[in-house]
Structure 1
Amino acid sequence: MSKRRWKRRILWLVLIVLAWLLIDWLIARWYHRSPALQVQAAPEQIERGRYLVAAADCAACHTAEGGAPFAGGVPLASPFGTIHGTNITPDADTGIGRYSADEFFHTITRGEARDGHQLYPAMPYVSYKTLAREDSDAIYAYLMTRPAVKQPNRANGVGFPFNIRTGIHAWNWLFAGATAKPASQGQSAAWKRGEYLVETLGHCGECHSPRGWLGQVDRAAPLSGNDALGRFAAPALTPQALAARGWDRNGLREYLASGVSAHAVASDEMLKVVNLSTSRLNGNDLDAITTYLTGDQPPAPAATPVPAAVAATPARDRYLALCAGCHGRDGAGVPHVAPALLGNSSLRDGDAHNLIVALLDGLPEHDLPGLERMQEMPGFADQLDDAQVAELAQWLRTRYGGQTGAVTAKQVRGLREDAADRH
């Protein structure tokens, strides 16, 4: 082929790309110049939308700390860079004020914005794809009747090539059609309602299921845990895993409603879920969630372990010096101050990840629904070396969690280095 033909073909290719970019720009301009919509909705639909927005935990990603409700700005860490929750108030220029109910439904269930650009899967549209249309319309009615906030969306920190959103079409083709396998077995009305609340509205699998190397949720291993999303691991929520850590329906219900149970106190991301979502659900829906998580025929929870008799060791001495002042010499804890350690879910987990992180980083002071503020737990990363943290973690797991697996200095070092990388 002659050089002249090659040049001509390259010229045509450049012209086609430029034409495509011009058309895309014109479409976007047209979308952004259309008038804002005025939505009229019945009070009952708006109230239902308020409830569903809580069930879907929208505020966790779309309301920044100290910011206006639903105005965006929440940083969401991912292996591909930081993604920020967007403004979903009815502002016409920076929010969703120009969205129709049809466009809103398409966006949250298919991951494609009104102007045609693809959303990052940090927006859980793969879970929301089974959202009932009437629920979407109620959510839309509620959001469109909130105060409009003119707050531009923050730029994302996603690097090349993941900042080219056209590539998300391929990601969607590969992964968005996957159907979640139920995490438990059941057929009752409560179980089916719970499946919808957990797998669709609550999108619990987005955190509590493992992910592949392209960030896709493993729908074949639902709610089997994930230690790669944040500083703390999201533990497994299968019936067997919950039972092994001592959970039953009553304990789960109490935890989801208040953030506190005999087995755990909510912290980190789960604290947001409790405060902004599950504590606002009615009793029937809380019962449905616990029915789904445990199944119609729940396994019997493992008995609370008997505290193992341990000799005086350096780890025991460190517990008495650093921990007993809040958790008690016998690990019984103090209400509204420090949780009990005997039977604690993190100590009974087969993976010591979260216990190690708590020992290294500590936990901030925080509020729980209907309770006084929980006291801060200091971190001991500067006081204890890797071997000492491992010894203390193993002592705690053996005495109060009935766990016999070893905790190694290598595990601690990995999580210490992970903290340094995040800063």
Structure 2
Amino acid sequence: MKQTAMHLTRVTRWSVRVACLAAVMLVSACNDATTPKPPEPGQPPQPKTSMVPSLVTSAMAADAPAAASSPSQASKAPAAAATPTTSGAAPNASSELIARGKYLTRAADCAACHTSANGAPFAGGVPLKSPFGTFYGTNITPDKTNGIGGWTAEEFYRALHDGIAPDKALYPAMPYTSYRQMTRADSDAIYAYLMSVKPAAVPNRKHDLSFPYNVRMAMRAWDWMFLKDTLPDASKGQSADWLRGRYLANALGHCAECHTPRGTFGQLDKAKPLGGAALARIAAPDLTPEALAARGWTVKDLQTFFGTGIAPQGSAFGEMYPVVHLSTQYLTPDDLRSLSTYLLGDAPPAPKPLPENADTSKLMAGRNMYLAVCAGCHAADGTGKPHVAVSMLGNSTVRQKDPRNLVITILDGVEAQKFPGLEAMQDMPGFDKRLTDAQISELTNYLRVAYGGQAGDVNSEIVKQLRQK
């Protein structure tokens, strides 16, 4: 069973983000006349209390550009020169600036929300379902009627920094709560690149939201109460790699949107940055140094995972697969190292070794189930098969304290995947129709004890609750 340390679902991400808005919208009678005016682009924001809503790997923008960047030192793409290009919307943009903006746009994973499966690049249309309605990724091509062709660089920056588009307040499903940490220079680079792509005359689909989630004016009040510039660091360090990685993780990669627990109104818990979060069926794993080390991660392994999608701890699947496919595989080796360095810190804890000779004598039903339905791909000893299935030994999801992601993977299966470097993993079938709740709990417990060093404490009720309705 292909596992990874970070398994999320797009629907779940958006569901949690939208749910966070409910209470605020219900109590907010604020309108534009009473809501404090956001700061002008480039000006320091006024102090605000700390709370933030959207939850999600990966960077979905329901209303406006999902783009972020790297600080001046951070952008290791070439610096902008004065060579003009033919870009009509950004006539003064250099070819170097556009190339840098393309790199940052990929690193921000904008395509995940703004490019549909069979659509034109950045033309929007990606449906993002939630219990409160459906959002649709918007057109961020330079088309002046349907896209952002009429936006200035100032307006683009304000959307990313403050969640305010030229004609409306944005829903925090677009994670401006993280993107606001990016530099103006990087915002301008992304703007220059987006203005250079081919305009697509694709109309935006209206979000299908029920009341009160369709009340946009409440977003001004939400921002006033909850928007904050930064969150505490999840690790310790001061090296150049650590500082760069902090920017990549917190602003560009917006990891906290999924991996930090939240309060009643969707605010990020400042006491637990990257400490893991519950996203409906899914458990967004704890990405703090101690938790990563407990699952066997090293800086080198994280760097390999983000760059290729495959590491000794497992392969990227679920929502992390498009993150690697569309985004992190394009990061430079320096940026991959920096991101990984930040997550584990300048003095990373030693990876926890697996216990030897785990006692599975009381788990023979689970072992027999493994031999019957899993060993054909993952091998009888759990070592896996190249290009077919990853190893179960030390697998990060198997080693995760919370068993939910492992149970869900057994239930739902994993689609076939292709990775950089001509690597691939074949599909894994789901067993929701083939195995009972009791059988899946027995299999899960065997995997956790034999290969993950975890307790065999999963029962049938847990499996029943995690089945797709």
TM-score by length of 2: 0.79
For 2:340, the equivalent position in structure 1 comes to: 290
**What is the CA distance between 1:107 and its match in structure 2?**
0.8
Contact 2:359 2:449 in 1 (8 A): no
In structure 1, how many angstroms separate the alpha carbons of the residues matched to 2:307 and 2:153? Answer: 31
2:135 is paired with a residue of what secondary structure?
strand
Letter in 2 for 1:288: S
**What is the CA distance between 1:318 and its match in structure 2?**
1.0
Provide the alpha-carbon RMSD of the alignment: 1.7
In structure 1, how many angstroms separate the alpha carbons of the residues matched to 2:242 and 2:414? Answer: 34
Structure 1 runs (4+) deviating above 6 angstroms are none
2:377 is paired with a residue of what secondary structure?
helix
Contact 2:446 2:456 in 1 (8 A): no
In structure 1, how many angstroms separate the alpha carbons of the residues matched to 2:121 and 2:283? Answer: 28
Larger radius of gyration: 1
Letter in 2 for 1:214: F
**What is the CA distance between 1:64 and its match in structure 2?**
1.2
1:82 is paired with a residue of what secondary structure?
strand
For 2:251, the equivalent position in structure 1 comes to: 200
2:171 matches 1:120: yes
**What is the CA distance between 1:68 and its match in structure 2?**
1.2
Letter in 2 for 1:212: G
In structure 1, how many angstroms separate the alpha carbons of the residues matched to 2:268 and 2:103? Answer: 26
In structure 1, how many angstroms separate the alpha carbons of the residues matched to 2:436 and 2:399? Answer: 23
**What is the CA distance between 1:405 and its match in structure 2?**
4.5
Pick the aligned partner of 2:154 from 102, 125, 131.
Answer: 102
In structure 2, how many angstroms separate the alpha carbons of the residues matched to 1:123 and 1:76? Answer: 12
2:216 matches 1:165: yes
In structure 1, how many angstroms separate the alpha carbons of the residues matched to 2:211 and 2:149? Answer: 31
Q: CA distance change for structure 1 residues 121 and 79 in 2, over 3 Å: closer, same or farther?
A: farther
> Which sits farther off after the overlay, 60-69 or 339-348?
60-69
In structure 2, how many angstroms separate the alpha carbons of the residues matched to 1:352 and 1:267? Answer: 17
For 1:61, the equivalent position in structure 2 comes to: 113
For 1:4, the equivalent position in structure 2 comes to: none
**What is the CA distance between 1:157 and its match in structure 2?**
2.7
In structure 2, how many angstroms separate the alpha carbons of the residues matched to 1:215 and 1:54? Answer: 27
For 2:435, the equivalent position in structure 1 comes to: 384
For 2:317, the equivalent position in structure 1 comes to: 267
In structure 2, how many angstroms separate the alpha carbons of the residues matched to 1:269 and 1:91? Answer: 29
Pick the aligned partner of 1:327 from 378, 381, 398.
Answer: 378
**What is the CA distance between 1:177 and its match in structure 2?**
2.0
**What is the CA distance between 1:85 and its match in structure 2?**
1.3
> Which sits farther off after the overlay, 219-228 or 275-284?
219-228
For 2:401, the equivalent position in structure 1 comes to: 350
2:192 matches 1:136: no
**What is the CA distance between 1:54 and its match in structure 2?**
1.1
> Which sits farther off after the overlay, 75-84 or 172-181?
75-84
Letter in 1 for 2:104: L
Contact 2:181 2:229 in 1 (8 A): no
In structure 1, how many angstroms separate the alpha carbons of the residues matched to 2:204 and 2:267? Answer: 25
**What is the CA distance between 1:76 and its match in structure 2?**
2.6
Unaligned ranges ≥5, structure 1 = 1-16, 18-35
Residue by residue over 1:21-47, the C-alpha shift from the partner in whole angstroms, topping out at 9 and shown as x without a partner, is xxxxxxxxxxxxxxx963221010000
Pick the aligned partner of 2:139 from 53, 77, 87.
Answer: 87
Residue by residue over 1:277-334, the C-alpha shift from the partner in whole angstroms, topping out at 9 and shown as x without a partner, is 1110001111110110001111111013435243472221111110000000000001
In structure 2, how many angstroms separate the alpha carbons of the residues matched to 1:378 and 1:289? Answer: 33
> Which sits farther off after the overlay, 173-182 or 335-344?
173-182
Q: CA distance change for structure 1 residues 84 and 212 in 2, over 3 Å: closer, same or farther?
A: farther
In structure 2, how many angstroms separate the alpha carbons of the residues matched to 1:211 and 1:157? Answer: 25
1:348 is paired with a residue of what secondary structure?
coil
> Which sits farther off after the overlay, 312-321 or 339-348?
312-321
1:170 is paired with a residue of what secondary structure?
helix
Contact 1:94 1:153 in 2 (8 A): yes
In structure 2, how many angstroms separate the alpha carbons of the residues matched to 1:408 and 1:414? Answer: 10
Please identify which structure carries the higher strand content. Answer: 2
For 1:73, the equivalent position in structure 2 comes to: 125
Pick the aligned partner of 1:406 from 457, 461, 467.
Answer: 457
Q: What is the number of residues matched between the two proteins?
A: 382
2:200 matches 1:156: no
Contact 1:37 1:99 in 2 (8 A): no
In structure 2, how many angstroms separate the alpha carbons of the residues matched to 1:213 and 1:79? Answer: 17
Letter in 2 for 1:332: T
TM-score by length of 1: 0.87
**What is the CA distance between 1:217 and its match in structure 2?**
3.1
Contact 2:115 2:126 in 1 (8 A): yes
**What is the CA distance between 1:211 and its match in structure 2?**
2.6
Please identify which structure carries the higher helix content. Answer: 1
**What is the CA distance between 1:78 and its match in structure 2?**
4.0
In structure 2, how many angstroms separate the alpha carbons of the residues matched to 1:401 and 1:193? Answer: 32
In structure 2, how many angstroms separate the alpha carbons of the residues matched to 1:299 and 1:291? Answer: 12
Letter in 1 for 2:459: T
Contact 1:179 1:219 in 2 (8 A): no
2:165 is paired with a residue of what secondary structure?
coil
Residue by residue over 1:376-413, the C-alpha shift from the partner in whole angstroms, topping out at 9 and shown as x without a partner, is 11111111121211111011100010112401212111
Q: CA distance change for structure 1 residues 140 and 133 in 2, over 3 Å: closer, same or farther?
A: same
**What is the CA distance between 1:224 and its match in structure 2?**
1.1
Letter in 1 for 2:465: G
In structure 2, how many angstroms separate the alpha carbons of the residues matched to 1:340 and 1:154? Answer: 43
Percent identity of paired positions between Structure 1 and Structure 2: 52
> Which sits farther off after the overlay, 272-281 or 215-224?
215-224
For 1:32, the equivalent position in structure 2 comes to: none
2:363 matches 1:363: no
2:265 is paired with a residue of what secondary structure?
coil
Contact 2:169 2:220 in 1 (8 A): yes
Higher relative contact order, structure no. (Cα contacts within 8 Å, ≥ 6 residues apart): 2
Contact 1:305 1:343 in 2 (8 A): no
